[in-house]
Amino acid sequence: MTTPLLSVKNLTVDFHTQEGVTRAVNNISFDIPAGKTVGIVGESGSGKSVTSLAVMGLLQKPAGKVESGQILFNGNDLLLNNEDQMRKIRGNEISMIFQEPMTSLNPVFKVGAQIAEVLTIHKNMNKKQAWDRAVDLMNQVGIPSPAQSAHKYPHEMSGGQKQRVMIAMAIANEPKLLIADEPTTALDVTIQKQVIELMMNLQQQYKMSMMFITHDLGVIGDLADDVVVMYRSNIVEQNHVKSIYEGAKHPYTKGLLACRPNLGANPRRLLTVSDFMNEEGKELVVPAERLTVYDKELIPSHQGEGTLLEIKNLTTNFPIKGGLFGRTIDHVHAVNDVSFKIQKGKTFGLVGESGCGKTTLGRTILRLIEPSAGNIIYNGQDITNIYGEELRLLRRKMQIIFQDPYSSLNPRMTVGEILAEPLIIHGIGNSKAARLDMAKELMDKVGLKVMHLNRYPHEFSGGQRQRICIARALMLRPEFVVCDESVSALDVSIQAQVLNLLLDLQDEFKLTYIFISHDLSVVNFISDEVAVMYGGKIVEMGAASKIYQNPSMEYTKSLLSAIPKGQPKHF
Amino acid sequence: MKTNSLWVDAFRRLSRDKTAMMSLVIVIIFSVVAILSWMGILSAGWSQEVGGSNMPPSAEFIFGTDLFGRSVFDKVIHGTQIAMSVGLVTSLIAIPIGVVLGALAGYFGGWVDDLITWFYTTFSSIPNIMLLISITMILGKGIFAVYVALGATGWGSLCRLIRGEVMKHKEREYVQAAGAIGGGHMRKLFIHILPNVTHLVIINASLQFQTAIKSEVILSYLGLGVQGEPSWGTMIDDAKLELARGVWWQLAASTLAMFLIVLAFNLLGDALRDALDPKLKGK
């Protein structure tokens, strides 16, 4: 057997902070053979990114420290290299792509110059040669009209294009190993598919090895040869991708595979990691009724009971200001002549790529953004033009759960204060104690510990914060809730728990949802009816099962085909 | 488990910073001295002739005496009272104006923003000394004119800072969430946004304070500031003629006092920025 390109042996990394020592990576070993792709899968905080940073020699100093182990690259231990030697390797023999294309490019330089810079540093090219090579690379990564695009600045490109530029930079020096840290997590599903296909082609063309880090086992199926599953700083399972998909051994891996909703029928509630193992990591037997898939239309509780919300020809424009005095010179039609009805107690899914107007539509319905034309009829009442006290009273009925659990909670308020605030605004509850009792009741319902009432948001994880947001939205006992990408920022394993929670709460409180997402499989799982949005218009609408089985529009078909199938690439 | 607000956390971080605590102690000592002087307990006899003319520092007069045989130490103490009062009063005038106008401009935008921006750019384009001269023409020379002039010109930079921060925060989802639960403009602005920019006000206050102290010294040195009582500025002004005759102690004493308090405020401002800025705190 030939020696692998990269071999991590018994690696242990600790982080030394003022609060004490945290073990980020605990005695892990894995190999990346030449020309192969290894996927590293795990939830946030499992140590997968720390592992990649250790390989690059980019651990945050002095906090992060390799306690023991070896990282052999071509037989040489990278941990013994000094900073100068590492700099020659980084960007040259090992290069890296980061998660966030929006912040990984320098906004004041042309993208062509940023790619050329990598070449002038490591390959001693002159400016002209480097620029020509940069244009050539941009062509290879599929950026349209590369000679012109090289003169663009990062803000003139879309997220997918920026990620392509990052890939061009990473492969510029034909590295032997490419480390990709969640390169597609920030992208829409169609763009994600294109980027993954691009990376597979480039890997074969350049005969690179690849370390692909993700929280989503579904993404890796198309791409990886081997999979390493990390959980709480340890490797719990590693195997060929085929063996993992067909017969995962560790309960955590089984949970990860099961928690992603698929496009066909799903169980009533998604399986989560906690169905497969308990807190101590002991394997559990999943009860048979949890595995039964069901047909949504046969569930009596999901039969509609009349129309709750009707949208008629709704249009929302944003003015484009220009000229010397900031006059309005034109309008963007963010939402353009949209009409639909939502039945009581049902979930209406809105899917589309970023910029299609789905978020604007959700906020216009709640009157957080003013509509330009059309009508919003809620429970028989036209709410398009109500203001003041009437609108404030309506807010009790209609609520929203935002996407980003980090920015949607005020960092200076405790959970108790956050949950009590809607009650104070609407004069519910006689005393502080009474309001806190109501807050405690909902905390319990959304699966938070009541004793955490006096904690601040920064002390919670992303999933817990989203539960706080859900509790806040439900404090006023609304009838109607807009979930705006409410699970998109969460790891798949947490996403399943939150989706289950939303369904439980829908049953308990008889809620009607608009569920906005770019993730078609999530929308399929949770929605009764689905509308596909493109360019501010609804292009296709109907029962979820119908749209997914027989899409009539080309756009819907392309969205559906972009979903990672979660299948290994060869059987 | 006990849990701490960001403020408690910030104070704990600050208390671990030795330079910051030293600076804080200096600021507290200067404040206590200024209060005691104002109450007449310290340096009440600064105007009395207590020794010979221009006596060098000695065990009896640690900073020596001036031309008229008055204790330089007592004059420095009285100067401290003037300096600290200028810092305090101008901060009390400038900070509320800056915060309220900045918050309104940033939150409401549109014509409110245009008006307030016009107002502070116009104000900050007038040189302080020109403004002070015109104010002294109206109010007469003296410390009151210094308060008004420095207070009226000091709010521009804070207003601009708060305006920018409020603009950034009003787009955040937690503010939109406050709107979605039925909160009005005042609740969004004063209960949600302002507590998230308060740290900037505190950092700015410590810098505002020392800028005002320096400005008072310059204005008094030019003869536009306090009249008929010693301040660090008038002491430096007096000392410039005596220096040629080898009388250095009056200049040294007033400069040292000013140096200490300005340095302490600067270091404290830096430490506050490190301790209070939530951006530096990990998610």
pLDDT tens digits for chain A (571 residues)? Answer: 578 899 999 999 998 877 788 888 999 999 999 989 999 998 888 888 889 989 988 887 778 889 999 999 988 899 988 888 888 888 889 998 887 777 788 888 899 999 998 888 888 888 899 999 999 999 888 888 888 989 988 888 887 888 889 889 888 888 999 999 888 877 777 788 888 888 888 898 889 999 999 988 888 887 889 999 999 889 999 999 888 888 888 888 888 888 888 777 778 788 888 888 887 777 877 777 777 776 665 555 555 578 899 999 999 988 877 666 667 777 888 898 999 999 988 999 999 888 788 889 999 999 988 899 999 999 888 998 888 888 888 888 999 998 888 888 998 888 999 999 999 999 888 889 999 999 999 998 888 888 888 888 888 888 889 999 999 999 999 999 999 988 888 888 888 889 999 999 998 988 999 999 988 888 888 998 999 998 889 999 988 888 888 888 888 888 888 777 654 433 3
How far apart are the C-alpha atoms of A5 and A289, rounded to whole Å?
46
Please state, as a whole number, how many other Cβ atoms lie within 10 Å of the Cβ of residue B87. Answer: 28
Say if residue B283's pLDDT is above 50: no
- Is residue B111 situated within a structural domain? yes
Closest CA to A339 of A375, A381, A380: A375
- Contact present, A110 and A152 (Cβ < 8 Å): yes
Question: Would you call A519 helix, strand, or coil by DSSP?
Answer: coil
The token pair at A256 is 């990860």
- Those residues with Cβ within 8 angstroms of residue B208's Cβ, 6 or more apart along the chain or in another chain: B87, B90, B91, B94, B95, B154, B158
Give the percent of chain B with pLDDT over 70: 96
More confident residue, A564 or B3: A564
pLDDT at res. B129: 78
Mean pLDDT of the residues in chain B: 86
Contact A456/B at CB under 8 A: yes
For residue A294, give both structure tokens.
């069901």
Asked if the C-beta of A328 comes within 8 angstroms of chain B's C-beta atoms, the answer is no
pLDDT value, residue A566: 57
**Taking CB atoms and an 8 Å cutoff, what residues of chain A touch B180?**
366, 368, 395, 399-400, 473
- In a mutagenesis test of the A interface, which of B173, B186, B191, B192 is the best target, namely the one with the most A β-carbons within 10 Å? B173
Secondary structure (3-state) at A10: strand
In a domain, B5, yes or no: no
Beta-carbon separation of B3 and A395 below 8 A = no
Determine, for residues B182 and A368 on separate chains, whether the beta-carbon distance falls below 8 Å: no
| Count of Cβ atoms closer than 10 Å to residue B6 Cβ | 18
What is the model's pTM? 0.81
Tell whether A49 lies on the interface with B, counting CB pairs under 8 A. no
Using CA atoms, how far apart are residues B79 and B149, in angstroms rounded to an integer?
A: 19
Report how many domains make up chain B.
1
Joined together, the tokens standing for residue B54 give 């221009």
Is A15 part of the contact surface with chain B (CB cutoff 8 Å)?
A: no
Nearest Cβ partner for B174 among A366, A395, A407? A407
Residue B96: which CATH number?
1.10.3720.10
State whether residue A392 sits within 8 Å of chain B by CB.
yes
In a domain, B96, yes or no: yes
- A472 CB within 8 Å of a chain B CB: yes
Residues in chain A with CB shorter than 8 Å from the CB of B5 are 412, 414, 456
Report if residue B120 sits inside a domain: yes
Q: Do A412 and B182 touch (CB under 8 A)?
A: no
Which member of B6, B176, B177 has the closest CB to residue A456?
B6
Neighboring chain A residues of B174 at a CB cutoff of 8 Å: 407-411
- Does a structural domain hold residue B42? yes
Q: Are B195 and B189 in contact (CB under 8 A)?
A: no
**Shortest Cα–Cα distance, B106 to chain A (Å):** 18
Report the residue of chain B nearest A407, measured CA to CA.
B173
Q: Is the pLDDT of residue B241 over 70?
A: yes
Chain A: residue whose CA lies nearest to B278: A411
pLDDT tens track for B143-171: 888 888 888 888 888 999 999 999 999 88
| Residues B22-60: tens digit of each pLDDT | 999 999 999 999 999 988 888 777 888 887 787 888 877
Q: Could you list the residue range(s) of the whole structural domain that residue B117 is in?
A: 34-46+62-280
The minimum CA-CA distance between B20 and chain A, rounded to whole Å, is 19
All residues of chain B having their beta carbon less than 8 Å from the beta carbon of residue A456 are 3-6
Residue A410: is it exposed, middle or buried by C-beta count within 10 angstroms (0-12/13-18/19+)? buried
Closest Cβ–Cβ partner in A402, A409, A425 for B181: A425
Residue B51 located in a structural domain:
no
A458 to B183: CB separation less than 8 angstroms, yes or no: no
Identify the pLDDT of residue B2: 47
Q: What residue type is B1 in one-letter code?
A: M
**What pLDDT is attached to residue B282?**
38
Q: What is the pLDDT of residue B233?
A: 87
B283 in contact with chain A, both atoms CB, cutoff 8 A: yes
Please tell me which residue of chain A has the smallest CA distance to B177.
A408
Mutate to test the interface with B, among A412, A415, A450, A475 (most CBs of B within 10 A): A412
Contacts of A403 in chain B (CB under 8 A): 173
Residue B3: pLDDT band by 50, 70, 90 thresholds? low
Is B278 within 8 Å of A455 when comparing Cβ atoms? no
**Which residues in chain A touch residue B278, judged by CB atoms under 8 angstroms apart?**
411
Rounded to a whole number of angstroms, the distance from the CA of B111 to the nearest CA of chain A is 12
Q: What is the pLDDT of residue A571?
A: 33
- Give me the phi and psi of B88, to 5 degrees please: -65, -50
Structural domain contains residue B155 = yes
Q: Is B127 on the interface with A (CB under 8 A)?
A: no
Does B89 reside within a domain? yes
Phi then psi for residue B27, to 5 deg, are: -60, -40
Q: DSSP character for B193?
A: I
